[in-house]
Amino acid sequence: MSIFPIDIIQLVEEEDVLYKKESYKDDSILLTKDMLFVIKKGLFGSKKLQKIRLDDIYSFEKISGGQESRIVSGLKISLIGVLLGAVTIFIPIFSQWVQNLLFFMGIISFVIGLHFILQSITRIKPHTSIYIEYNKGKTHIAVVFPDIGNTDAENLFNKMIVARNINKNKKI
């Protein structure tokens, strides 16, 4: 069962398909010799189909971004801060100066660990995007793939170059 509407599947012949990726949780793409069909996944499972003629594509580029999760590091650093604070509170064998120093080091490491955890929750996840401008640069769309260096993104980018060359050869 295809994600793409039945009228598009019937319209496209099998030998015209250069690239096809269907996903229920990410963007779905169908690239033919003449058209690019993109189903963008939105909030709450909404989907939007966009049809782009390859002749209308002004430019496209591959962009990687995002940051790896640092939740585990944040938990470790916060735990060290809590342990340092507990040592200074429950074991008063150090001098007052050493106790204050350890307590402040514990607070600082706890805050840094908490920052890592909160940043990881709200960060942009690692991704590779194909940014496409069309209609003479007036409109754009970004096809997003999970993880940096995604092979599906590489394949789509290379197939778009091939499709653009096919269309240029047709015009000559």
Per-residue pLDDT tens digits for 60-69: 899 888 888 8
Average pLDDT across the chain, whole number? 84
Residue-level pLDDT at 119: 92
Mean pLDDT of 71-95: 89
**Range of lowest pLDDT (49-53, 117-121, 149-153, 163-167):** 163-167
Residue-level pLDDT at 49: 80
Apex 47 CA angle, 58 and 55, nearest 5: 20
Taking the C-alpha atoms of residue 82 and residue 76, their distance in angstroms, rounded to an integer, is 10
For the cut 60, the answer to whether the pLDDT of residue 1 exceeds it is: no
Residue-level pLDDT at 144: 86
Residue-level pLDDT at 70: 92
